[in-house]
Chains A and B, each alone.
Chain A
Amino acid sequence: MATFFDINLFGLFGQLLIGLINGSFYALLALGLAIIFGLLKIINFSQGALYMLGAFAAWIGLNYLGINYWWALILVPLAVGAFGILLERTLIRPIANEDHLYSLLLTFGIALILQGLFTHWFGSSGLSYEMPEELKGGTRLPFMYLPNYRAWIIVFSLVVCAGTWFMIEKTRLGAYLRAGTENAQLMQAFGINVPLLVTLTYGFGVGLAGLAGVLAAPIYTVSPDMGSNILIVVFAIVVIGGMGSIGGAILTGLAMGIIEGLTKYFYPEASNTVIFLVMVLVLLIKPAGLFGKEA
């Protein structure tokens, strides 16, 4: 076994890999939250529940409808996004101009409903999703064993994050989005359909959560509370990064995953809490968050 200064390299790289995977999910969810926050100025408390919904949709698709993993990867985000659009149009829109604490409470209520329904339908113990045939197995690297599916998660979510970043920072549609973040009223005066943009943004943001759910299904247990646990961590990450920048949300998500992985290796007792402790530290040193713009 390769050891270096008493450090078990296999174990260390293993935990780093797990950290990177968790980080990928944090990044996807934080990205979705940040996009929605940018235009709507609300924190979507149901983001975790929609991630859970994505995982369950993939599971139902595979076991009842004959939709395989690859189709689920396309169809589920669309379906979750469509569901999100429905929520935005019917429930969130009517209170869009009021104190944003209300939309936080509203989306919390929605999360409770979704989680409760799935607990009732599927029980709380969780289900397992069969890994797609093409991604089974793994590669033996000199310092670690890399399962193919895990490599796929990291690569795929990085591509999605980078693509989203590119779309927002470098394209015309993204320019509208950024302009809407700065001053939606003015943009509307220029003749851009802001309500439509808001709806699409919300749909895209929660679609990302649905996508993360599909990615998570084969490696995590598909259970009703999978969303709420991860969401609170993502909230801490959002506080750490600040929601001013899209790139910041992605980077903070990945970095926190890695820090969590390292903690799991060096001091496992603190692995559940380390991200919250980082948040405390950031609040003490730079309260606005590492990438935050507001005072």
Chain B
Amino acid sequence: MYNKKLNLVLLGLALVAPFVLYPVFLMKVLCFALFACAFNLLLGFAGLLSFGHAVFLGTGAYVTGYVMVTYGLTPELGILAGVVMSALIGLIYGKLAVKREGIYFAMVTLALAQLAFFVFLQTPLTGGEDGLQGIPRGKLFGLIDLTDNLTMYYFVLAIFIFGFLTIYRTIHSPFGQVMKAIRENEPRAISLGYKVNQYKLMAFVISATLAGLAGSTKALVFQLASLTDVHWFMSGEVVLMTLLGGMGTIWGPVLGAATIISMQNFLASGPLANYIHVLMGVVFVICVLAFRNGLVGELQKVIRKNSG
């Protein structure tokens, strides 16, 4: 009951937010929030640290951008193309990555992502260092013009809610329970007869698909797909968002993404602009050493203490 009320309040806030805050900023937050939620599905609930998730964000962005620019598709088809491609690459990369565990899993995903980075850099389809610019937003279903930022915002919000609910359902499904069991005690899950690698792969593909959705949407919002989206730095950023917000919590990644994006926006114009990377490193170190539960985790602790 309490949660339902909270969700309604949050939805209400999201609906009126573009009248108070700059819509492009909000859309950026939503895209990264979805990206971080998708990543969190893997790290927080399956216990797999992927250090190459940028590749799925980037694939979504590039493929959507490419088909929109070249074939002039409608946005929903453009997004579909980006998402399908991300899922496919997620399947291939996932199959390779789940062969190793723990730290090796992180290194394999990072190396695979770097492989993709060079492919995106070198292939003539992606515009090299410039990336794909001037991607049209188009008309949704051929009817609704998305050029207007406010219209676009509600479209992005709908996509975010769809992605968020998908993740929510996945976590609370029997599949999600097995995923958590694997995270807690993999040998036990194996001894109970679960094909652990298949579950891991499935989680990886779902996560990659939704990260691709975030990337496709982001490409439409900014009308740009660039190498930043596939760079290892982006992979690190999404780890930080999840860690800061609270990994393994539903709302953590959303709050983490909002915090980091706000921090970047705020700092970009101030005297500390040159120190953004340094500050992100510092936040990383602090989170790991002293703030493991993240913002949402700590908040939950406080609430539990007060109510009990």
What B residues does A111 contact at CB under 8 A? 281
Please give the number of chain A residues whose Cβ is less than 8 angstroms from any Cβ of chain B in the complex: 40
A210 CA / B281 CA spacing, docked (Å): 21
- The answer on a CB contact under 8 Å between B275 and A43 is no
A238 CA / B280 CA spacing, docked (Å): 27
Chain A proximity of B74: nearest CB distance (Å): 34
Per DSSP, chain A at the interface is: helix
- The answer on a CB contact under 8 Å between A91 and B285 is yes
Q: Which of these, A112, A232, A279, A283, contacts B284 with CB under 8 Å?
A: A112
What A residues does B202 contact at CB under 8 A? none
- The answer on a CB contact under 8 Å between A94 and B289 is yes
Tell me the B74-116 residues at the A interface (CB within 8 Å): 96, 99-100, 102-104, 106-108, 110-112, 114-115
| A120 adjacent to chain B (CB < 8 Å) | yes
- The answer on a CB contact under 8 Å between A235 and B277 is no
| A277 adjacent to chain B (CB < 8 Å) | yes
Tell me the A28-44 residues at the B interface (CB within 8 Å): 42-43
What A residues does B284 contact at CB under 8 A? 105-106, 108-109, 112
Chain A proximity of B291: nearest CB distance (Å): 12
A111 CA / B276 CA spacing, docked (Å): 14
| B254 adjacent to chain A (CB < 8 Å) | no
Chain A: CB-nearest residue to B277: A116
| B282 adjacent to chain A (CB < 8 Å) | yes
- The answer on a CB contact under 8 Å between B107 and A272 is no
| B288 adjacent to chain A (CB < 8 Å) | yes
- The answer on a CB contact under 8 Å between B289 and A235 is no
| A157 adjacent to chain B (CB < 8 Å) | no
What A residues does B167 contact at CB under 8 A? none
Tell me the B227-263 residues at the A interface (CB within 8 Å): 232, 236, 239, 243
- The answer on a CB contact under 8 Å between A273 and B118 is yes
Q: Which of these, B100, B102, B236, contacts A108 with CB under 8 Å?
A: B236
- The answer on a CB contact under 8 Å between B275 and A116 is yes
Chain B proximity of A281: nearest CB distance (Å): 10
What B residues does A106 contact at CB under 8 A? 284-285, 288-289
- The answer on a CB contact under 8 Å between A43 and B278 is no
A175 CA / B224 CA spacing, docked (Å): 56
A9 CA / B161 CA spacing, docked (Å): 61
| A228 adjacent to chain B (CB < 8 Å) | yes
Chain B: CB-nearest residue to A117: B278
A187 CA / B274 CA spacing, docked (Å): 47
| B122 adjacent to chain A (CB < 8 Å) | yes
Q: Which of these, B108, B114, B239, contacts A105 with CB under 8 Å?
A: B239
A282 CA / B282 CA spacing, docked (Å): 36
A228 CA / B115 CA spacing, docked (Å): 14
- The answer on a CB contact under 8 Å between B115 and A104 is no
- The answer on a CB contact under 8 Å between A43 and B281 is no
Q: Scan B265-288; emit 1 where CB is below 8 A from any A CB, else 0.
A: 000000000111111111111011
What A residues does B190 contact at CB under 8 A? none
- The answer on a CB contact under 8 Å between B282 and A109 is yes
- The answer on a CB contact under 8 Å between A269 and B111 is no
What A residues does B283 contact at CB under 8 A? 109
Q: Scan B149-169; emit 1 where CB is below 8 A from any A CB, else 0.
A: 000000000000000000000
| A115 adjacent to chain B (CB < 8 Å) | yes
Q: Scan A85-118; emit 1 where CB is below 8 A from any B CB, else 0.
A: 0000001001100001110111011111111110
Q: Which 9 residue pairs spanning A and B have beta carbons closest together?
A: A109-B284, A112-B281, A116-B277, A113-B281, A116-B278, A276-B115, A236-B111, A287-B99, A109-B285
Task: Supply 30 A–B pairs (Cβ within 8 Å), ascending by A.
Answer: A100-B102, A101-B103, A105-B239, A105-B287, A106-B289, A109-B282, A109-B285, A109-B287, A110-B285, A112-B277, A112-B284, A113-B277, A113-B278, A115-B277, A116-B277, A116-B281, A117-B278, A119-B274, A235-B107, A235-B111, A236-B107, A239-B104, A269-B122, A272-B121, A272-B122, A276-B111, A276-B115, A279-B111, A280-B96, A287-B100
- Write the residues of chain B forming the contact surface with A, with a CB cutoff of 8 angstroms: 49, 96, 99-100, 102-104, 106-108, 110-112, 114-115, 118-119, 121-122, 232, 236, 239, 243, 274-285, 287-289, 292
- Write the residues of chain A forming the contact surface with B, with a CB cutoff of 8 angstroms: 42-43, 91, 94-95, 100-102, 104-106, 108-117, 119-120, 228, 232-233, 235-236, 238-239, 269, 272-273, 276-277, 279-280, 283-284, 287
